[in-house]
């Protein structure tokens, strides 16, 4: 995992090192929360009256974030996602994205957003070097959207999606949290919309994080995904390794789905499992942390807005990189802390066995 010389000279790490945890998983993906604030109050994420946000004085500055991100990139992390809360609430996110995109070794820079401010920021993000967008969208019914999010702003999100497509983002993934009470017709309408717009719909099981998440009853999205795919005439995306010789054995250029996707895509580098309409590109995916967890293939860690490194969504293991940085830690000391944290990364979450354990809300960790 680490070499003493690399730990003392982080700049040398890029030529040598990959982050591997105690279970043999390569960690090559860092999700960075640029703010824990959000302009929505989605029923599965934040209470409507929530006031427990991080004090802005404790937020890492963009320069501090870039410094920590750079240490991860030097250790072999190539994928970076800027997230929140709602990242576009914080000023200068496109500037931060430009700094990260220019780092040697960064191969994929993406942003997760709720879309409310995307129309005004899409072109700047694209120009800064952001390659992919994930946009939260749980329904196309305006009244249901208001009930879920606490705001009547579905039109703003749809305008943001249109602006992102016009700015050249592709693929654009729609992330939709689906629980036991979600109407099938709402999900099918989202799928039809995604197909018509050239987007990818990903259905996500809610996790029991904080009181909001713990109040949601998940449903098996493997079954729902298969039902929707059958209704729409789709077939499972075939992993590259399973394709006949000569049929798309290389990465689909510009696909944005990771090296696991050749001409027929497949499982990709993330947790989603996909269906395709037969033309190769994924159309529908499911992310199932509850009914079929993917911890054995976990490749990511999360950096909170205060610099806390969260090693697992479903555990409390963390490293206070922000406090260390503010106390004057050198890059070598921060690198040693990162390596020690990765070595101690938990094997898996315990959401099913201990659903009340994680009291922090998703926005506080970084989605």
pLDDT digits (tens, 9 = 90+) for 299-313: 999 999 999 999 987
Q: Is the pLDDT of residue 161 over 90?
A: yes
Q: Which residue has the tokens 């860092």?
A: 30
DSSP SS3 for 186: helix
Mean pLDDT of the chain: 84
Q: What is the pTM of this model?
A: 0.85
Pairing state of beta strands 282-287 and 200-204? parallel
Question: Can you name the residues that pair with 81 across neighbouring β-strands?
Answer: 31, 110
> For residues 225 and 286, is the Cβ–Cβ distance under 8 A?
yes
Comparison of pLDDT for 233 and 268, the residue scoring more? 233
- Looking at the chain, the whole-number percentage of residues with pLDDT higher than 90 is 62
User: Can you tell me the distance from the alpha carbon of 73 to that of 82, in angstroms, rounded to the nearest whole number?
Assistant: 14
pLDDT digits (tens, 9 = 90+) for 21-31: 999 999 999 99
């Amino acid at each position: 995992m680490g070499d003493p010389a690399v730990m003392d000279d982080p700049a040398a790490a890029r030529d040598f090192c990959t982050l591997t945890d105690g279970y043999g998983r390569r960690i090559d993906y860092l999700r960075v929360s640029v703010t824990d604030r959000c302009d929505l109050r989605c029923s599965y994420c934040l209470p409507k009256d929530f006031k427990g946000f991080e004090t802005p004085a404790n937020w890492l500055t963009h320069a501090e974030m870039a410094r920590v991100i750079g240490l991860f990139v030097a250790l072999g992390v190539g994928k970076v996602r800027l997230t929140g809360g709602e990242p576009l609430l914080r000023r200068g996110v496109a500037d931060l994205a430009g700094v990260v995109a220019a780092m040697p070794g960064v191969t994929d820079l993406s942003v997760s957003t709720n879309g409310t401010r995307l129309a005004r920021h899409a072109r700047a993000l694209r120009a800064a070097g952001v390659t992919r967008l994930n946009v939260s969208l749980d329904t196309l019914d305006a009244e249901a959207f208001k009930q879920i999010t606490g705001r009547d702003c579905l039109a703003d999100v749809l305008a943001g999606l249109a602006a992102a497509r016009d700015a050249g983002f592709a693929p654009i993934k729609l992330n939709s949290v689906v629980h036991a009470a979600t109407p099938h017709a709402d999900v099918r309408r989202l799928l039809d919309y995604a197909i018509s717009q050239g987007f990818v719909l990903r259905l996500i099981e809610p996790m029991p994080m904080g009181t909001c998440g713990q109040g949601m009853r998940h449903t098996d999205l493997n079954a729902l995904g298969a039902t929707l795919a059958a209704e729409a005439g789709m077939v499972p995306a075939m992993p590259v390794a399973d394709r006949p010789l000569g049929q798309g054995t290389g990465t689909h250029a510009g696909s944005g789905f990771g090296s696991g996707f050749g001409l027929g895509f497949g499982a990709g580098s993330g947790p989603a499992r996909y269906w395709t309409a037969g033309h190769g590109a994924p159309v529908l995916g499911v992310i199932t942390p509850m009914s079929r967890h993917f911890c054995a293939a976990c490749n990511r860690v999360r950096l909170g807005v205060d610099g806390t490194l969260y090693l697992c969504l479903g555990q409390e293991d963390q490293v206070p990189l922000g406090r260390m940085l503010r106390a004057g830690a050198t890059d070598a000391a921060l690198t040693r802390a990162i390596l020690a944290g990765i070595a101690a990364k938990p094997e898996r979450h315990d959401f099913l066995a201990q659903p009340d354990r994680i009291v922090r809300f998703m926005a506080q960790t970084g989605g």
